[in-house]
Chains A and B, each alone.
Chain A
């Protein structure tokens, strides 16, 4: 079987060279589609990274009643730390709360606290959830867990309620747009590859019939077509990966903060190219051979 494999590979290469005009067009189509898909992917990854950073800043604050003594405060802290969902806990005393307040209201001339004559700000714990719980569902779960702790009431728990749902819905929209654009581009590229292989098949119809008449199996005449589709996709994928690399290098000069794209994106682009080329020739072979 090995010698035939070499022969079929050669047939595939030679066939591609023979139809280089239309093959080049198919390859360019694949390249352009994959570059666009890759760019959308890179933008999405960057937005996602940005969103992840925003999420990490989310704090859940638990206010402590002024009546709690040191012992009770310590017990609540232990309960909180025992939760799997919480990464770290900072204690903010009444005094620290005042200091923070003063810092934030520096520009005001009147010191309200001085006027008031007592410290109305409660002590609090600031909780930093672990990454897996940084979603609207995760935070809701944390709130439930906190409410179960003796000494914490629903009203004592505060966090930026809108942040997570907003980020999540925006990301969903962006991912949906990515998918729609990706599918449209892939279908377009697939049709072009398929059409290219169809033209090769039609121009070689008599040749292919003769091959079968002298004992070639269907697989034997189809294999070169698959190899051609594969090569078109592979070359398109490689070209797209190189272009994407150059584009991100260029963008990095202007936007130093841009997230470096991992090798994964380039690999994905090449694999996608191969899949496109292969399935393009598969549809053509299925219909015309």
Chain B
């Protein structure tokens, strides 16, 4: 296992309103599965934003597969993001295209060959059980289906790290288990997974490593 695939050290990041992160330390090794748990507003999504570098820390630093937030240039950030698969809390599906194109987009930005794009996209859609809905627009899907489309887009390029922000929120228990199984399978293929959740119950019954966050501070 490669150590320090993700490394956050003494990171601080404040939004203009004054909320945000005070002191965050977090490390995820290659291939590891880690839960980031905390109640609503604790700062879980913000930690993930630091990792995909939508926000940069005001103090401390973030390293993602060797790319350090304190040294990185804007031009390099897209290439760091291509190593990640991100399941956004609000899905962020592209409303202007169908599910197939939503998933395929991640491959298109890399300039992949059309044949490979088709193959990988169909595989990812099959993995989340959405093959039959690939021609539907995002807005025509149920919440659970949108969640799965978001996951398909995150795993389609076999990312080094999967960042999952509350992927089981608002889902019935059966669907939640299905989703967790999809993440487990991605993890079994070698992808490191960092999953943010406020579901303490889930975390307590799991044997996986857990990092807690409270009021913008990770607990040691």
Contacts and interface: CB of A to CB of B under 8 A. Distances in A.
Tell me, yes or no, whether A binds B: yes
Interface of A: 1, 3-4, 7, 18, 204, 206-207, 210-218, 220
Given A207-B95, A207-B96, A213 B109 contact: no
Contacts of B96: 18, 204, 207
B110 interface: yes
Enumerate the 10 nearest inter-chain pairs by beta-carbon distance, A residue then B residue, closest first: A215-B82, A215-B81, A216-B109, A210-B92, A4-B111, A217-B78, A215-B109, A7-B108, A214-B106, A215-B78
Interface in B182-212: none
A4 B108 contact: yes
Nearest to B80: A215
Contacts of A1: 111
Contact of B94 (A4, A7, A207): A207
A217 B109 contact: yes
| Most chain A CB inside 10 Å of its own CB: which residue of B81, B109, B112, B117 | B109
A215 B120 CA distance: 17
Contact of B111 (A3, A212, A218): A3
A3 B114 contact: yes
Interface residues of B, number: 24
- Interface SS of chain B: loop
A10 to B, nearest CB: 10
B92 A215 contact: no
Nearest to A214: B106
Contacts, number: 52
Given A207-B94, A207-B95, A214 B81 contact: yes
Contacts of A210: 88, 92, 94
B79 A215 contact: yes
A212 B74 CA distance: 11
B44 interface: no
Nearest to A18: B96
A199 to B, nearest CB: 15
- Interface SS of chain A: helix
B62 to A, nearest CB: 15
| Most chain B CB inside 10 Å of its own CB: which residue of A204, A206, A214, A220 | A214
B113 interface: yes
B52 interface: yes
A4 B108 CA distance: 6
B10 to A, nearest CB: 25
A210 B153 CA distance: 12
B173 to A, nearest CB: 29
A214 B108 contact: no
A215 B153 contact: no
Contacts of A204: 96
Interface string B53-89: 0100000000000000000000100110110001010
A215 B106 contact: yes
Contacts of B110: 215
Given A206-B92, A211-B109, A214-B105, 9 more contacts: A3-B112, A4-B108, A4-B111, A207-B96, A213-B86, A214-B153, A215-B110, A216-B105, A217-B109
Interface string B98-124: 000000011011111110010000000
Given A207-B95, A210-B92, A216 B78 contact: yes
Nearest to B157: A215
Nearest to B115: A3
A7 B114 CA distance: 10
Contacts of B75: 217
B98 to A, nearest CB: 12
A214 B114 contact: no
16 contacts: A3-B114, A3-B117, A4-B109, A4-B111, A7-B108, A18-B96, A206-B92, A207-B94, A207-B96, A211-B109, A213-B86, A214-B86, A214-B105, A214-B109, A215-B110, A216-B109
A4 B106 CA distance: 12
A145 B52 CA distance: 79
Given A3-B113, A207-B95, A220-B109, A213 B82 contact: no
Nearest to A3: B114
Contacts of A4: 108-109, 111
B182 to A, nearest CB: 18
A206 B88 CA distance: 13
A7 B110 CA distance: 12
